[in-house]
Chains A and B, each alone.
Chain A
Amino acid sequence: MTTPTAVALEDAKVAFRLGDGRVYTAVEKAHLTVAQGEFVAIVGPTGCGKSTLLNVAAGLLKPAAGSAKIFDRPLAGLNRDAGYLFQADALFPWKTALDNVAIGLEIKGTPRAEALPRAQKWLTSVGLGAFAGRYPHMLSGGQRKRVALAQVLIRDPKILLMDEPFGPLDAQTRQVMGNLLLDLWNADRKAVLFVTHDLEEAIALADRVVIMSAGPSSRIIGDWRVTLPRPRDIFEVRLDKEFHALHREIWSVLKDEVMKGYAQSTQAAEAV
């Protein structure tokens, strides 16, 4: 291949030292690649370390073994090519929606007079043109996610890392946000690594769905290609026959892991 791979994790292992001195291995021997322009979703049971893997790709965590490469170059420090969309609220509460979006440019040294109109344009394209002056606490959960999306995209990162970004939203808002994301992504097809626990969301959005086993020491246990035609509409793609077949196939693998993960988490709770 001549074009470099956007994200390549090879044999990555991530371990944490627990308070009592023991070492907890979250992820082991993870092989994961995201090609340029590819939308990859990671699905796995709660606590399987999918966010951990994402943080390795972001450079927020260092792998204990193995390597992380971004565009074929080993990742040192933070991943400067990536934009990261967090699960929790990550907007700056003391900045208005407009300033929250503009800050992405201002950090790079873009003069404020130039950053503000571009931020306004981005707010409009996520459907919040009229909410520029609002502070985050005056916006709904879905609107805050839209601002966060604009905040990340205005910097035009080559890679998008998303950690269950729509997790806290209600079911309808999630679908609307999914469609918005696909529309924006279609414009320039960045490499996307999208973590979710929702298999339907993963299939509807992604080109490839990667399944992780239940933790600890979770591994990647499956990799499916989604060939549903694009552009997709999340509401309609769910009615597609191919969607159902793929869902059944992946779920048969994922189900066991979900059960295992659930059993482990209840055991752990009893042990405490």
Chain B
Amino acid sequence: MSRVTLLALQILVAVVCIALWEVLSTVPLFGKILLPPFFFSNPVDVFSQIVKWFASGVIWKHLAITLWESILAFVIGSLGGVLVGFWFARQPLVAAVFDPYVKMANALPRVVLAPIFALWLGLGIWSKVALGVTLVFFIVFFNVYQGVKEVSRTVLDNGRMLGMSERQLMQHVYWPSALSWMFSSLHTSVGFAVVGAVVGEYLGSAAGLGYLIQQAEGVFDVAGVFAGMFVLSAFVILIDMGVTLVERRLLVWRPTAADGRG
């Protein structure tokens, strides 16, 4: 299928869904409206709300805050994950000692941490960053740990036979291998950074997309809730596209599935 047909079909899905929504929420069928506007709003209202946000410029402040929180959560979480992942993989004893605690910490639903972080770090951006970090850290940590552990034995032996020192093995073998695992989870970890930021905002803040949605919800402004959700989805998709670009640059050496050769 060509790219153009694919794109056309993708757009068609959106058009059909929105058209259905519009019809069902404004035109009475068999004497009654199937999607009452109070609960479902309608596309026109939602769209005009989005336009209003952008026209008045209020949205930019909220977008910027959410973006900033996501970036900080991603960077701090990744850095921590890489460092600890490397350390654990190279020191099996440390990994064995901490294993149950890592599992416990990772099993904890992060939402319950949000009030604690708000208490510790206040209602500003740092409590949201902390929430994102707890999500991002574990994804990156597990991937880097796996990446260092699963370096091919032959490649490692080859490095040794070529005369690499431990430091050179780090630089030329362990590091690229760990990074490739980290980048393969980039979509997930960036997504979780955004989730951490938005959930944190939703649970208590004064700015950000999560705050916007929560405010609308508080006054039963369903159009505002939907508008916030649409802006958030578009925001996440844009970030994801950026990640794809970065990934293509960094993982050129990796065979893609379409390649068919391993």
Interface residues, chain A, with chain B CB atoms under 8 Å away: 58, 60, 78, 80, 82-84, 86, 88-96, 103-104, 107-108, 135-138, 151-152, 155
Contact = CB atoms under 8 A, between A and B. Distances in A.
Contacts of B261: 137-138
A89 B161 contact: no
Contacts of A90: 152, 154-155, 157-158
Interface of B: 152, 154-155, 157-164, 168, 172-173, 176-177, 180, 252-255, 259, 261-262
B173 A86 contact: no
A9 B162 CA distance: 22
Given A60-B157, A83-B161, A84-B158, 11 more contacts: A82-B161, A83-B162, A86-B154, A89-B154, A90-B158, A91-B155, A95-B253, A137-B253, A137-B255, A137-B261, A155-B163
Contact of A78 (B160, B176, B254): B160
A24 B79 CA distance: 45
Interface centre among A58, A78, A83, A94 (most CB of B within 10 A): A94
28 contacts: A80-B163, A83-B161, A83-B162, A84-B157, A86-B154, A86-B158, A89-B155, A90-B155, A90-B157, A92-B155, A92-B172, A93-B254, A94-B176, A94-B253, A95-B172, A96-B253, A103-B162, A103-B172, A107-B163, A107-B164, A135-B252, A136-B253, A137-B253, A137-B254, A137-B255, A137-B261, A138-B261, A152-B162
Contacts of A80: 163
B176 A92 contact: yes
A83 to B, nearest CB: 7
A83 B161 CA distance: 7
B144 to A, nearest CB: 15
Nearest to B251: A94
Nearest to B160: A78
A94 B175 CA distance: 11
A92 B158 CA distance: 9
A138 B259 CA distance: 9
B257 to A, nearest CB: 12
A81 to B, nearest CB: 11
A97 to B, nearest CB: 11
Contacts of B163: 80, 104, 107-108, 155
B186 to A, nearest CB: 16
Nearest to B169: A107
Contacts of B164: 107
A119 B253 CA distance: 19
B172 A84 contact: no
A265 B125 CA distance: 65
Interface centre among A91, A103, A104, A136 (most CB of B within 10 A): A103
Interface centre among B157, B173, B259, B262 (most CB of A within 10 A): B157
A152 B163 CA distance: 11
Contacts of A58: 161
Contacts of A155: 162-163
A84 B164 CA distance: 13
B259 A107 contact: no
